[in-house]
Amino acid sequence: MKKNLLVIVFLLVLAALLVACGGQTTQAPTDAPTSASIVTEAPTEAPVALSGDPIQGGLLYDDWVKVLGVDAPTDNQPLWGTQTTNTRSGKDTWRCKECHGWDYNGVNGAYGKGSHMTGFVGVSQVAGTDASAILAALKGATNPDHDFSSVMDDQALTNLALFLNDYQFDTSFFIGADKLATSGDAVNGKNLFYQNCSYCHGPQGLSMNFADDSDPEYYGTIASDNPWEFIHKARFGQPNAENMPSMVDLGLSDAEYADLLAYAQTLPTSSPVTEGGRLYDKWFAALGVDAPAGDQPLWATQTTNTRTGADTWRCKECHGWDYKGVDGRYGSGSHQTGFPGILDAAAMSPEELTAWLDGSKNADHNFSTYMTADDFARLVAFIQKDVFDKSTIINDDKTVVGGDATHGKLLFDSVCKVCHGTDGKTFNFGSDSEPEYFGTIAADNPWEFFNKATVGVPGEAMPAGWNLGWNLQDIIDLLTYAQTLPTK
């Protein structure tokens, strides 16, 4: 498709050139008849060929604020006030997709009902029309309240116009009213998934949760709940994930999108163990809620750990990254609390574990005000399946048992490097004076590293190793390599 556009742009430029040449060379006897006929057919108005990047246009349509890295205007988009059915406000009101839909059909499509309903027109009718006229509409020519030229530069608007002109995609031939793929070869879709998506999204599409853990959204969730969004993102990529490929760029055929969707809709939409692991780490960040005010009631029963507030509510702060509480790493140092570990709890029944979480066992150990039965089920799944004695793989001096750094590097390069950088120093989790990099965590707190590498980081769409299909030995290898990376 991109190639097609380039050809069209090229032809338009050529036509414009020929028009120009034709005008100047009327005296030249050798003038080719074809150019003469173009001259007569296109007298004064040579079409202006817009040039730009329609793929970026597709990303801008999704979320131009994210793509351009700018602040969203503080007020609602002026046209927003002309509707009352969609109660979102602020940044969302400026997204093209929020008014015109992932299916480009506005009120006549999926956004014709539900919480996203606005009643606004679609944009599918402008496909194939004059790109300059589309550009003008984005600058307010048809409605002054539809002027985006104060928030985006001309090139961005041009890219949007090129996207709308030539890169919209009518998915109605393979998405039914019930959102299910009506055609499409799931077997081929699986191949496409393994070639293009699974190395980041994991063999089951579960490696990254794009939403809060209270209502997780995985690759398969989006494919089933919002197939139009899924297809749009598959085609253009993801605004804040520059490394996610665009399938338009890679030249997927129309039918192949149907295949990709048909398979994606068979993938699972929950992952209790890794979700539970993120809750254990920092449940309020994972659930996207504020930490409770004040200290956890049991906190006052100790005096050695001087932290206050949110930290006192983290499971890991009392029970440790090694799950051994006072009998492990948190038996000394600034994190020392004296609380018990939970290694033995791995053998408890779900009922007994839940009784620990909802206060039945100890009224001060009650999290039911903040977490649902589903959340408890996730914590139970994590404790039962993932809580084990790590001394078999991590020595007291923090070195790792039996790791293969060469294989670890392969794993690091294939997934972690993209975000954390070749030396693991792209993000500093500490402060300027006391930096904490990927390598620092691996060296100083391999137990914490283990948790994050296997279940992910609460509130971040960071891949969870378990859901990349990695096994225990893979994590040991990764950790061994991570300990060779710079710590400052």
The residues, ordered by sequence, that sit 6+ positions from 482 with a Cβ below 8 Å of its Cβ are 408, 412, 424, 438, 439, 441, 442, 449, 453
Applying CB under 6 A, which of residues 102, 284, 321, 356 lies at the interface with ligand HEC? 356
**Please, what is the minimum distance in Å from the beta carbon of residue 169 to ligand HEC?**
14
Instruction: Indicate the residue among 39 and 164 with the shorter CB distance to ligand HEC.
Output: 164
Instruction: Indicate the residue among 39 and 96 with the shorter CB distance to ligand HEC.
Output: 96
Ordered DSSP codes for 213-234: TTS---HHHHHHH-HHHHHHHH
Helix (H, G, I), strand (E, B) or coil at 115: coil
Q: How many helices (H) and strands (E) does the chain have?
A: 20, 0
Could you give the string, one character per residue 233-262, with x where binding to ligand HEC holds by CB under 6 A and - elsewhere? xx---x-xx-xxx-x---------------
Applying CB under 6 A, which of residues 52, 184, 202, 463 lies at the interface with ligand HEC? 463
Instruction: Indicate the residue among 9 and 244 with the shorter CB distance to ligand HEC.
Output: 244
Judged by CB under 6 A, the stretch of 25-33, 42-50, 107-115, 200-208 that binds ligand HEC is: 200-208
**Please, what is the minimum distance in Å from the beta carbon of residue 173 to ligand HEC?**
18
Applying CB under 6 A, which of residues 190, 282, 409, 452 lies at the interface with ligand HEC? 452
Q: How far apart are CA 48 and CA 233, in angstroms?
A: 29
Instruction: Indicate the residue among 39 and 378 with the shorter CB distance to ligand HEC.
Output: 378
If binding is defined by CB under 6 A, does position 355 make contact with ligand HEC? Answer: no
Residue 208: count other Cβ atoms within 10 Å of its Cβ: 21
Applying CB under 6 A, which of residues 65, 96, 381, 394 lies at the interface with ligand HEC? 96
**Please, what is the minimum distance in Å from the beta carbon of residue 69 to ligand HEC?**
14
Number of residues that bind ligand HEC (CB under 6 A): 86
- Structure tokens, 104: 């480009």
If binding is defined by CB under 6 A, does position 460 make contact with ligand HEC? Answer: yes
Ordered DSSP codes for 328-371: TGGGSSTT-------GGGGGS-HHHHHHHHBTSS-TTSB-TTT-
- Structure tokens, 206: 């579960």
> Under rule CB under 6 A, which residues in 302-341 are in contact with ligand HEC?
312-315, 317-319, 339-340
Q: How far apart are CA 213 and CA 466, in angstroms?
A: 16
**Please, what is the minimum distance in Å from the beta carbon of residue 35 to ligand HEC?**
33
Applying CB under 6 A, which of residues 42, 298, 355, 472 lies at the interface with ligand HEC? 298
Contact 201, 464 (CB under 8 A): no
**Please, what is the minimum distance in Å from the beta carbon of residue 63 to ligand HEC?**
9
Cα–Cα distances in Å, from 206 out to 117, 319, 325?
Answer: 29, 27, 30
Q: In sequence order, what E strands does 152-310 have? A: none
Judged by CB under 6 A, the stretch of 7-15, 96-104, 178-186, 285-293 that binds ligand HEC is: 96-104
Q: How far apart are CA 89 and CA 424, in angstroms?
A: 37
> Under rule CB under 6 A, which residues in 386-445 are in contact with ligand HEC?
415-416, 418-420, 427, 429, 441
b/e burial code for range 334-363 (CB count within 10 A of at least 16 → b)? ebbbebebbbebbebeeeebbbbbbeeeee
If binding is defined by CB under 6 A, does position 111 make contact with ligand HEC? Answer: no
> Under rule CB under 6 A, which residues in 122-151 are in contact with ligand HEC?
123, 125-126, 134, 137-138, 142-143, 146, 148
Instruction: Indicate the residue among 38 and 438 with the shorter CB distance to ligand HEC.
Output: 438
- Looking at residue 483, its amino acid is Q
Applying CB under 6 A, which of residues 18, 65, 110, 342 lies at the interface with ligand HEC? 342
**Please, what is the minimum distance in Å from the beta carbon of residue 367 to ligand HEC?**
5
- Structure tokens, 61: 């349509």
Q: First CA to last CA across the chain, in angstroms?
A: 46
